[in-house]
A and B are shown apart, each in its own frame.
Chain A
Amino acid sequence: MLLTIIRKELALHVLTLRFQLGFLVCVGLIAVVAWIGTVGYEKRAADHRAVVTGLDEKLDELEVFSDLACNTQLYADRRPRPLAVFSQGVEGRLADHFQVAHCLVPGGLEGMRPGDPFTRVFSQYDVVTLLQVILSFLALLFAYDAVSGEREDGTLTLVLSNRGSRAQLLLGKYLGGLLGLAPPLVVSFLVAVLIMESSPLLSLGTDHWLRLAVIFFLSLLYLSLFLVVGLLLSVLTPRSSTSLLWAALVWMVFVVIYPAAVLFAVDQLRPMQPLASVGAAVEELRAQFDREVEDYLSAHGRERAWEGFHGGRSTSSNGTGESVKATPQMDDDGVIKAETLEAMAFARRFYAFQEPLRAEYADRRAHLLQAYLEDNVLAQERLAWRLLRLSPAGMLAETASAAADTDLDSYLRFVAQAARYRGDLIEHLEEENAFGSDRWFYSPGGPVEAHSLPRFGERLETPAGLLGRLAPTIALLAVLNGLAFVGAVVLFGRQPVT
């Protein structure tokens, strides 16, 4: 009996114009969006590769260790995520490349520069957003007249005079609808994956397939919820035109209006504060650092760190780091003069003092910026997602970006790893006694040994960790599905047939 209902419902859906139109619109748009997303990924992947291969050459020419502070900075580069095509998250919005040095803490505001202002005017589409908009609409259209329509046409009495129970009828209609939604969903995924795979720069590994499966499952749960809500509406309302009205309203409120309203309200009621206050504190820190350095120099009876030899220096753009290269004064035989040797001995002590201090000040500066980020960017973002979770569309967007490994949490994990990498770098430099040696500022010819320096490698989240993170939302979606279905069955059971 159940099978008959399912078969009938499925045939009914697939033959309708709404289904065919929805299918075409969905797949066409998804092909376009997947193509744009793939091109974007290719660009990011090429950038990533260029950075990774470029560093070795630069390290070959590292003349002094202090070059690491400014001229040849090491970096932490976030691997681009191919599944951003499905759910963009913060991918491409926040910086994925950080310079790392003892005087430079990765993360902070460097990553927070807004991109091209003009693209922000248009909404950003990825595959999941499109599915979320189009197929949820289609799901409601499948289900809205399941009961009210049959009652209107008088076929409901006919159907119920068969052997199947009312619950069975609803279940059949639900499964039929779900099967009807499957073709557009599956074809959309296939089209998107085919377009991604056609790119030579993009290849999907096992991990990605697993994550894709999670995204597919989440989309299915989400669509099923709309289907069940449609059934519920069709039970609740006496006429199919009324159920359609409610369905359109539910869709508009939960998919279009509520997400936009939440994001806008968060931005308006909890606006980001200007950076000026932090800027002043950062400036003050820099002055304090300069004072400590001056105190050290005057305590040692010197005016400058370099007395007795010349050289070049360059300062990093934000003024926190400095590369220095000394040219000692030689006598006619090519031997370094005695007073220069004495000055170099002082410079060793000086840098052994100054550079760890620099690292400490960099930490303090990073703390200030981190506090600003916490209070503004991150607090705003978290509040927005907490509120968005009240709409199924928000739930899907949040979990899909987590599954695509492009959400803010994933990004923050990357930043934390980059910060740990800086710790490793400092530890390495201290072990090598780089700060306190001649090689910090003096090159007797030939590059320093830089290939033993630690390199950044990003560790990705394991699928188990991902599932643990997603479990509550998946459970919630499932419970909502169940509740709405049971509600529909109970209400339907109490109703007269005509």
Chain B
Amino acid sequence: MLLTVIRREILGHLLSLRFGLMAVLVLALMAANGFLFAGERSTLAVTQYNENVRQAREEIESLCEQGLNHLAEKGPGELYRRPGTLVFCVSGGDGAMPSRIDATSHSSYGWRSNEFSYSWKMPWNLQYTVDTPLPTNPALPSFAELDWSFAIGVALSLMALLLTYDAISGERRDGTLRLAMANPVPRDLLLLGKYLAALFTVAGPLLLGVVVSLLILLAGGSVDLAGDDWVRLALAVGLSLVYVSVFAGLGLLVSALVRRPTTGLLGLLLLWVLSVELVPGGLGVLGMHLAEPISSVEGARQGRALVDGFIEHAKQALFTRLSPSQAPDDEQVLRDWADALNEFRDGQMELLDRTADRQLQRVSFARTLTRLSPTAVYRYGLEALAGTGFSHYRSFVSQARRYRDQFHAFLQGQDRADPDSPHHYFVREGVSARPVDPRIVPHFADRFPLAEGLRAAVWDIVVLVVLAVLLFLAAYLSFLRCDLAES
């Protein structure tokens, strides 16, 4: 019986104008997605990343030859974020997120007087840059990217609404609802049939669009998908179906509640505009505004104050005595230097990390506000699954921090292994000068594994699933209570 209902409904949908129009639109968007993401820009980002990583490795290797102390002083170099492979699925501003964290010591300082001369490098720390992977045009307004999440989030959700808005109210108006109920089919089956039929109908253009987009992308040769990526894409399609079913449930609910189908559609359209456009945009702007970060000027000022304070301290407390290069055997001099450098490094690290955290919290706050819109929830969930955009950047930051600790541990371990070293970590003269085997140096490789993505996405997925189920239940309840006849 259920099958009969579904078959009848699907046939009705497939022959309708709204289905035809929306299907054409969705397929056109997905095809455009394929062509655009197969373009030059995506390949450029990957090439650039590989080149950057290669250079960073060479840098480390040359430092290894110079000795452990040089490596300790200069730091592990630039840490690069891998550009997302699945940006065509959901970009989440992947191209606008910072592409690197700088873990190099850049500035050297020196002091010279008649009896004293010494130069040293400021300790390296994680400097969170704002460089994008590729140059971006600041004059262009920021815009939605034409990824799957756009086609599905905007067009396919409307399609789900259009297929369900008159499911009950329309039949009631035409008088066919009583006819349908005269058959031996319970109300819940009829409603379930309509729901599933709408979902199957929407799934058609969705799957077809996904296939079209993937075919174009793979034929273009600019996208290389690994086994992991296919799992991610499958999950993304699954989440898209859940998202679409939220709107199908909403459409059914409204169609059971209102008398005139057009009234229902008007209300639904308003909700739809709020969800796809106004809430993500408006509340996002508001959230970013309410949570002001430390301004870059203020951050830079605090950073400079820290450096100036340290140099002053170095002049006052350390340079009045001997320099480490003149008295490499003087334990006390080395220890004081090491203490001073480490203390400065910790202070700077705290400041830099705090500023970066504030920035991340600010974006998270704005995103939390926008989660009022199912479309935003869907995009964020998809983003975490696909490993792109802000979710990836946040993971990149914590990976870089873990790597920092790992690198310090490595340096200190190597230093301890050298009996000739004075073991005063961070002072050039206090650390082993032996060359290091580049093969044992830990290298940074940005990875955002699927498990981590799933963990990050889990709440968004749960919210969408719960919303979909609740809306269907609400539709069911109101359908049970509604009048069959047109009043």
Contacts and interface: CB of A to CB of B under 8 A. Distances in A.
Interface of A: 17-18, 21-22, 25, 29, 32-33, 36, 39, 90, 93-94, 112-125, 130, 133-134, 137, 141, 145, 240-242, 244-245, 248-249, 252-253, 256-257, 259-261, 263-269, 271-275, 376-378, 380-381, 384, 397, 408, 411
14 contacts: A39-B289, A114-B96, A114-B130, A118-B288, A118-B363, A120-B136, A124-B285, A241-B166, A241-B261, A241-B262, A241-B265, A249-B21, A256-B154, A272-B135
A91 to B, nearest CB: 11
Contacts of A90: 138-139
Which has the most chain B C-beta neighbours within 10 Å: A124, A266, A268, A274? A268
Contact of B136 (A33, A114, A240): A114
Nearest to A92: B138
B57 interface: no
Contacts of A257: 25, 29, 154-155
Contacts of A259: 143
B36 to A, nearest CB: 5
Contact of A271 (B32, B134, B162, B359): B134
A141 B268 CA distance: 13
Nearest to A382: B139
Contacts of A242: 17
Contacts of A114: 96, 130, 132, 136, 138
A145 B262 contact: yes
Contacts of A244: 262, 265-266, 269
Nearest to A411: B139
Contact of B36 (A116, A121, A141, A265): A265
Contacts of B366: 122
Contacts of A264: 36, 143-146
A104 to B, nearest CB: 20
B144 A123 contact: yes
Nearest to B287: A122
Given A241-B166, A260-B144, A269 B288 contact: no
A472 B274 CA distance: 34
Contact of A32 (B166, B269, B286): B286
Given A116-B130, A245-B18, A94 B96 contact: no
A137 B273 CA distance: 9
A267 B137 contact: yes
Chain A at the B interface: SS class? helix
Contacts of A22: 270
Contact of B282 (A33, A256, A267): A33
Given A119-B142, A263-B143, 17 more contacts: A22-B270, A33-B285, A118-B97, A121-B92, A122-B142, A241-B261, A244-B269, A245-B162, A260-B145, A261-B29, A269-B40, A272-B136, A274-B48, A274-B135, A381-B137, A397-B141, A411-B139
A250 to B, nearest CB: 11
B359 A381 contact: no
Contacts of B18: 245
Given A274-B135, A377-B139, A240 B285 contact: no
Contacts of B362: 118
A273 B135 contact: yes
B130 A141 contact: no
B486 interface: no
Given A116-B130, A261-B32, A265-B146, A381 B140 contact: yes
B282 A125 contact: yes
A260 B143 CA distance: 6
Contacts of B158: 248, 252
B365 to A, nearest CB: 11
B276 interface: yes
Contacts of A130: 282
B284 A123 contact: yes
Contacts of A122: 142, 280-281, 284-285, 288, 366, 370
Nearest to A35: B289
B277 interface: yes
A22 B17 CA distance: 28
- 5 tightest A-B contacts by CB? A122-B284, A121-B93, A263-B143, A271-B41, A260-B144
A134 B97 contact: no
A123 B284 CA distance: 8
A90 B39 CA distance: 27
A408 B266 CA distance: 38
Contacts of A137: 269, 273
Nearest to B93: A121
Contacts of A274: 48, 134-135
A116 B296 CA distance: 9
Contacts of B274: 25
